[in-house]
Amino acid sequence: MTCFLPPCRQETAPPPQSQPARFEGDLIMGTGPLCSRVTALLVTFLTLMALAGVTAEEDKGSQERRFTIDYDNNQFLKDGMPFRYVSGSIHYFRVLPSEWRDRLRKLRMAGFNALTTYVEWSSHEPEAGVYDFSGINDLTHFLTIAQEEDLLVILRPGPYIDAERDMGGLPYWLLNKNPDMKLRTSDPTYLNYVDIWFRDVLLPKVKPLLYENGGPIIMLQVENEYGYQPECDFAYTSHLRDLMVESLGKGPVLFTTDGDEVDDLKCGKIPEVYATVDFGSSTNVTEAFGAMRLFEPRGPLVNSEYYPGWLDYWSVPHSTVKAEKVASNLDEMLALNASVNVYVFHGGTSFGFTAGSDFENRFMPCPTSYDYDAPLSEAGDPTEKYWVLRNVTGKYLPLPPGEVPPASPKFGYGKVSLAPTGSVFQMADLLQKVTNKWPLTFEELLVPNGIVVYQTVLPFRIADPARLTLGDIHDRGYVFVDTEFAGMVSREQDMYDLAIYARPNQTITIVVESQGRVCYGHQINDFKGITTNVTLSDHTLEGWTMTPLPITHTSRLQNALTRLHSWAVAQNIPPLGLLGTNKGGMTFFSGSFQVPGDSSHPRDTFLRLDGWNKGVAWVNDFCLGRYWPEVGPQVTLYVPRGVLHQGTNTLLLLEQESAPCLTPDTCHATLQETNIIDGPTPL
């Protein structure tokens, strides 16, 4: 800092009988010997001022980019000022990157000032030591867009996240590394892989994004709803805390999330980590926060998961929650100066095979749609609930200027004619096989999800009929004698045996489908496939051949389909001869459709499969997910515009049970403008 001083006049002899110059005059004019003293004083004064200015700048700098808890006043502080967040959950792995900014801007335009998102370990490390932070897994890009849209970030890095994802977001291969591994505990084998993932991979990516480092992340969650975990392993949760502090420092606020009952918080609370609660609109707000206060007597009130809707299950009616009730409870919490995260503000879609399942008295798989009756629909459109909640938020936080982005334009691309391209059995004959005396699980076969074909040759004569018992099948098994369908076993329906008739040397084939690993509770170590020995009339069947279908890997699937097509041409097999069963089950079907070339296309659309029963759908090699309109409530699959392109687009189905394709003119699907996720379900 440069200081400019008034110049001293040239010293001359004073005139005779002159009056002593006044101090003020000397200071102003800088005359006489006093000039030196004054100048010295002035230099000292200005130097001190300069140093004070530097100190003030340093103090100001030290106060900048800080997010803390003010325990004395029961509030958060952002840059030293009182702060309260209203956040919404959006999961980057359930939304195409092309739509991230649209969803985040709609969140901000609802008056929300923060985003909450999970980090899904299984998406980023699909196989041990293989990492993916590209495309839909580009976490840094997603959080950067959030910051550009003026949103702070509350990050929930897991390692377990639940979120109705396969195995709660934990990678399946952990079960291959050690089948006896105790997940979510201080089991050394589990902690070894958690440490590698957190310390060496994830947290170094997170650190530059912390608020104190100029990024948007103000808080990080340690584990997730651990109070529900029966092991109650404090060594594990404390280890995660220490790991995060070691990697990120003591700057970011760490917190836990648990249910609103005292028992929920007993195992969830971690020393030196702020405990918060979660609850929905049917909960008494005062009682819920009262439970939190037993564990956090001082500090801000926080609901880390406020539910505006609820999840769905296949064959169970679609869940809805009235907008007025959600708004009323939100208003009540904000009036208490609580911070709230709406879970979820936008649910999106569990594309591919990522949807998980629950186990509450019975196995309950989740559908592909994660609409959740949220303020933004599965396609990202503002719903009535969006506007109602925006009105509440606007009472407590300023609404940003400008218009809320509109719903995305939709288009019905019409009928898509389909034709069979080969059966599961024909494809399996062309693929690499694994043999073993006993059947192996998906995890032992290093199959993340999808379908495995199990086969054994019957070596002896059996009674007519005989009882085939598969023990604890995970999750759905289609039984064939040679290629004739014999029946089905189902974990969901608690059906594990059936009567069959077979002769010696016939092949018993069991096509086993994984419907998503359990995402919550003590059964998340959910092995898939044939998990016990198979018996026939009390005789244990041996000598198994197992063929994984490559349906979870796009390029491998395309290679397999290409080989299947070449084989069919070489064998001169007519199209209908490629059907797997007489109802069109266990068959791949393909077709194409056109997207107009004008600038308004492509647009969002929805795949409707009337007459089809259960299977998996791909558009342009992108796996939309599982369909099952036969049981509902989800009838259509969301096709985001980001997977389409102008011109010719492809549709591929793997139908497992029954297709409307006995004649070519009935073999089609439809792309329509409207989504149906509340269709009829069984009684």
Helix/strand/coil (H, E, C) string of 211-277? HHHCCCEEEEECCCCHHHCCCCCHHHHHHHHHHHHHHHCCCCEEEEEEECCHHHHHCCCCCCCEEEE
What's the pTM value of the predicted model, to 2 decimals? Answer: 0.90
Query: Whole-angstrom Cα distance, residue 365 to residue 385?
Result: 27
- The pLDDT value recorded for residue 52 is 43
Q: Which amino acid, 659?
A: A
Structure tokens at 462: 């059996």
DSSP-assigned beta bridge partners for residue 88: 115, 342
How is residue 587 annotated by DSSP? E
Domain limits, the chain: 1-63, 79-393, 414-419+553-672, 432-548
3-state secondary structure at position 352: coil
Query: Whole-angstrom Cα distance, residue 99 to residue 199?
Result: 30
Query: Whole-angstrom Cα distance, residue 309 to residue 327?
Result: 12
Give yes or no for a contact between 150 and 110, defined as CB atoms under 8 angstroms apart: no
- The pLDDT value recorded for residue 588 is 97
The rounded Cα 408 to chain-centroid distance in angstroms is 22
3-state secondary structure at position 192: helix
- The pLDDT value recorded for residue 11 is 34
- The pLDDT value recorded for residue 223 is 98
Query: Whole-angstrom Cα distance, residue 544 to residue 509?
Result: 10
Give yes or no for a contact between 256 and 216, defined as CB atoms under 8 angstroms apart: no
Q: Which residue in 591, 547, 552 sits closest to 426, CA to CA? A: 547
Give yes or no for a contact between 520 and 460, defined as CB atoms under 8 angstroms apart: no
Query: Length of the chain in residues, anyone?
Result: 683
Query: Whole-angstrom Cα distance, residue 664 to residue 652?
Result: 16
Structure tokens at 467: 């009882």
pLDDT tens digit string along 367-385?
A: 999 999 999 999 999 999 9
CB neighbours of 453 closer than 8 A, spacing ≥ 6? 424, 425, 428, 509, 510, 511, 512, 546, 547, 548, 549
Structure tokens at 5: 């001083």
Left, alpha or beta for 294 (phi > 0: left; psi -120 to 50: alpha)?
alpha
Please check whether the two domains, 79-393 and 432-548, share a CATH topology: no
Virtual torsion, Cα 524, 586, 652, 641, nearest 10 deg:
-40
Q: Which fold has domain 79-393?
A: TIM Barrel (3.20.20)
- Per CATH, is 414-419+553-672 categorized as 3.30.1950.10? no
3-state secondary structure at position 622: strand
- The pLDDT value recorded for residue 608 is 98
- Looking from the CA of 110 toward its CB, the CA atoms found within 13 Å total 31
Give yes or no for a contact between 375 and 404, defined as CB atoms under 8 angstroms apart: no
pLDDT tens digit string along 34-46?
A: 334 433 433 343 3
Q: Which residue in 334, 549, 531 sits closest to 429, CA to CA? A: 549
Environment class of 52 (CB within 10 Å of its CB; exposed 0-12, middle 13-18, buried 19+):
exposed
What is the architecture of the domain spanning 432-548?
Sandwich (2.60)
CB neighbours of 178 closer than 8 A, spacing ≥ 6? 189, 190
What Rg value do the Cα atoms of the chain yield, rounded? Answer: 32
Active site residues: 225, 305
How is residue 441 annotated by DSSP? B
Query: Whole-angstrom Cα distance, residue 640 to residue 136?
Result: 13
Other Cβ atoms closer than 10 A to 205: 14
The rounded Cα 205 to chain-centroid distance in angstroms is 18
Taking 50 as the pLDDT cut, the residues of the chain under it are 1-62
Helices and strands (H, E) in the chain, number of each type: 15, 34
DSSP-assigned beta bridge partners for residue 365: 357
